[in-house]
Amino acid sequence: MTPLIFPPPCPKRRSNLPATAVDTLTIKVSPPSPPPPTPLLVVSPNSLQCEPRYLIPNYPVGGNGGENGFQYLVDILGTKMYDVANESPLQLAPKLSQKLGVNVWLEREDLQPVFSFKLRGAYNMMVNLSQEQLERGVICSSAGNHAQGVACCHCDACYYTRD
């Protein structure tokens, strides 16, 4: 332990203690104990997009992650999402591109049947429900785009257009 020694108080300062009691003050401080060793986890940057405390292992290129990544791409391309959603175009945002110094492209989700991207999430939720859950019904406590997406997935309302 290293003692910390404080100098006597400044003579201009008044103290309630007699001068002999405040000549020096010594405090002994223990060094901080090292933290317990914890292994550093190597995780994928994609873990930032997951729920808290859920980590995706960082597979090396060409390892198990390559197969899983490819399968994920196959799953995305094979989804029935486009049964209810349109393939929306990209549009260059010239002012934003100029301000940021790079080309910024925006996906026109406002051209979807319910005028937003919420249709994708609602559809994904509905197709992942079990038959029993679907038979019990779905309640969506929203009056916005998500509710429209849920309703659209359950009826033919998806197929109307703005025209």
Q: List the beta bridge partners of residue 26.
A: 5
Please say if the pLDDT value at position 92 is more than 80: yes
pLDDT in tens, 29-60: 777 777 777 766 666 666 666 666 666 666 65
Dist CA 70 CA 50 (whole Å): 19
Consecutive H or E run containing 125:
helix 118-127
pTM for this model (two decimals) = 0.41
Average pLDDT of the chain to the nearest whole number: 70
Q: What is the pLDDT of residues 5-32, one digit of tens each?
A: 555 555 555 555 555 555 565 667 777 7
DSSP string covering 62-74:
TSHHHHHHHHHHH
Query: Left (φ > 0), alpha (ψ -120 to 50) or beta: where does 143 sit?
Result: alpha
Q: What is the distance between the alpha carbons of residues 127 and 130, in angstroms, rounded to a whole number? A: 8
